[in-house]
Each structure stands twice: as structure tokens, then as C-alpha cells.
Amino acid sequence: MGQARTEPQAWRAIVRQARRVLRTYSSSFFLVTRFLPPAKRAEVEVIYASVRYPDEVVDTFPISPGEKLTLLNHWELSYRYAVSQEGLRSRVRAGIPWILAGFAEVVRRRRIPHQDYLAFLDAMRRDACPAPFATMQALIDEYVYGSATVVGYFLTHVYGAAPPATLEEALACARELGIALQLTNFTRDIWEDHKRGRLYVPIEILADEGITEADCFHARYESALRRAVRRLPETAEAGYDYARRNLGVFAADCRPAIQACIEVYQSLNRRFLNGESPLPTRLSVSPIEKFRLLPRGKYWRVPMAYAGLL
């Protein structure tokens, strides 16, 4: 992309790379984003890449917490520099990573508040040096806001609102859906997060079941931990239901993708509510299940997506 002669060429190169990132790391989100109109889909793919890299730093880089924090701090400085510059090519020539060069363009186009991405990076720093959360409200306010809510805000600025609904109403819906998605992910990833030294089940919920952070993963407390973990998808259900009821606040051309997202992730959430345990095996929605939950009449997009045509 450094060889691009025009801004549109640079943008297309960045989008191609971002699409590869999305397809590699999230089969579910890759599928649902195929139901977005092309221009908005491209921006969403770039947004995904902008949150994927910091997430990989804290989740998979085989380095110390201090080194992870150093990388995240450097990433933040690059982001601040990126949003201060004009033009994709000038950002890349200045040494800004292509992900941030593209994301800064989306931020500019969609007037996304600069501080929202800083809140996301703060949540990633918390993952680099994990600590428990006292209450469900603390989990949502101190972590989920940065890790999921603001990401929903990024997407909503791209999706747009459908009059007479306002952008504020669409952002409120995105907030509820973002919280629900994150709680489902916490449930699904409970064992993997434990291996990383993280626990997203609030201390007060563990206490309700007579267990503590120190002993909750001991084999003899497995039943109690399962009951505690189940509180997360129980809370998430209200967010999915709210988003479904208020889907009309989003622009019509984005509703099929948002609805597909709700259907796919709520189906996983309900498996947890119906008694399937995420311990110790990580559950997921199979490709066939996902296919059945996608918007009818648009199934043709799935083979086209995997053929690289969408």
C-alpha cells in the first residue's frame, strides 16, 4: 500500500488486508458482515483490524505484561499521530501502521470521537495486567465499556441511524448489544481466560455460590462455578432482546447484518442457558447452524464470500 499512487488505491489495499484479518480471526463476524453494503462493509473491516491487533498483543504475544504495555502505549501514540494527519498515503509514509492509517480515515469520515479508541486501549491494558471485578456493574463500567461498548459505537457511526431515530438512540442500542455480546464471549472463553490469568465473573457472584477467586476453578467447585458463570448469559439475554426490539433505529441497509449478529450470538448464549457448559471445552456455533441463522433470501452471499467475491 506504500506504493499506491492515489488515495482510493491506498484505501483498497488497506481494506484487502483488513478483510484477511477479519476472515482469519472471526468466522462469525466475517459472515455477518457480508450482509452489509460494500462501502460500509469495508469500513467495518478496517475497524475490526484496529481492535484485533491490540487484542492479539494481550492474548497471544509470548512476552511479559510490561512488554505488552509498552507495545500498547506505542500503539496509542501511533493512533494519536494518525488522527492528527491527513491522507492515507501521508500516514503510511510517516511510518504509521497500515491498520491505524486506515482506522484514522474511518474516524475522520464518520466523526468518531477520538477518545473512544483510547478507552478501548485502556481495556486492553487491563487485560495485560488482569485483576478481578467486584460487581457486575464494575465489570460493565470498568471493562466492558472499553472492550465492547465503544467498539459498538464505532460500528454504529458507520451503520448510521434511520430517521426518525437519532444517532443517540442507535448508540444506546449498540451499547446494550455490545454488553450482551461481551458477556456471551466471557462465558464461552471462561476456561481460556482462566489460563491467561483472567476472571470476568464478578467476585460478588462467586460469593453467592460460596466460592472465591482463588478456589473457583478447583474440581470440587465445578458445579458452583457453572452456576456462577450462568449469570453472565442470563444478563446478556436482556441485551439481545433489547437490540432485536430496537433494530429499526439502524439504517435499513445494515439491519440484515446486525440481525444476523444477534441471531448467531444469541443462539450460542441460549445454549449456555439451556445447560451446556463452557467448562472445560469451548463451545461455538457450527457453520451449518450459522448458515441457518443468516438472513433468508441472501444465502447466495455465503459462497461468494468464501470465494473472495464479497
Q: Which of 216, 229, 232, 192 is nearest to 58 (CA)?
A: 192
Mean per-residue pLDDT over the chain, rounded = 91
- 175 with 303, same domain: the answer is yes
SS3 assignment, position 49: helix
Q: Confidence band (pLDDT; 50, 70, 90) for 32? A: confident
Query: How many residues can be counted in the chain?
Result: 310
Q: Confidence band (pLDDT; 50, 70, 90) for 228? A: very high
Q: Which of 5, 6, 29, 7 is nearest to 19 (CA)?
A: 29
- 181 with 273, same domain: the answer is yes
Q: What is the pLDDT of residues 34-60, one digit of tens each?
A: 889 999 999 999 999 999 999 999 999
- DSSP for 187-242, please give it: HHTHHHHHHTT---S-HHHHHHTT--TTTTTSGGGHHHHHHHHHHHHHHHHHHHHH
Q: Confidence band (pLDDT; 50, 70, 90) for 4? A: confident
Question: pTM for this structure?
Answer: 0.90
In a domain, 1, yes or no: no
- 168 with 308, same domain: the answer is yes
User: How far, in Å, CA of 231 to CA of 81, rounded?
Assistant: 41
User: How far, in Å, CA of 128 to CA of 66, rounded?
Assistant: 8
Q: Which domain holds residue 76?
A: 7-129
- Name residue 5's beta-bridge partners: none
What is residue 28's predicted lDDT score, i.e. its pLDDT?
A: 81
Q: Which of 69, 62, 283, 58 is nearest to 186 (CA)?
A: 283
In a domain, 199, yes or no: yes
- 124 with 137, same domain: the answer is no
- 74 with 180, same domain: the answer is no
- 164 with 308, same domain: the answer is yes
In a domain, 2, yes or no: no
Alpha helix segments (H runs only) across 129-189:
136-139, 150-159, 167-188
- 214 with 119, same domain: the answer is no
Q: Are 101 and 78 in contact (CB under 8 A)?
A: no
Domain-ending residue, one of 129, 148, 170? 129
Positive/negative CA dihedral, 3, 106, 39, 241: positive
In a domain, 122, yes or no: yes
Q: Are 273 and 226 in contact (CB under 8 A)?
A: no
User: Cα-Cα-Cα-Cα dihedral of 247, 249, 254, 258, to 10°?
Assistant: -30
Work out the percent of the chain whose per-residue pLDDT is above 90. 83
Domain-ending residue, one of 83, 108, 129? 129
pLDDT at 283 over 80: no
- 123 with 145, same domain: the answer is no
- 116 with 134, same domain: the answer is no
In a domain, 235, yes or no: yes
> Once rounded to an integer, what is the mean pLDDT over residues 136-147?
97
Q: Please give the grid coordinates belonging to residue 157.
A: 457511526
Q: What is the CATH number of the domain that holds 283?
A: 1.10.600.10
User: How far, in Å, CA of 273 to CA of 189, rounded?
Assistant: 15
- 102 with 154, same domain: the answer is no
What is the number of structural domains in the chain?
2
- 151 with 32, same domain: the answer is no
- 154 with 273, same domain: the answer is yes
Domain-ending residue, one of 79, 108, 129? 129
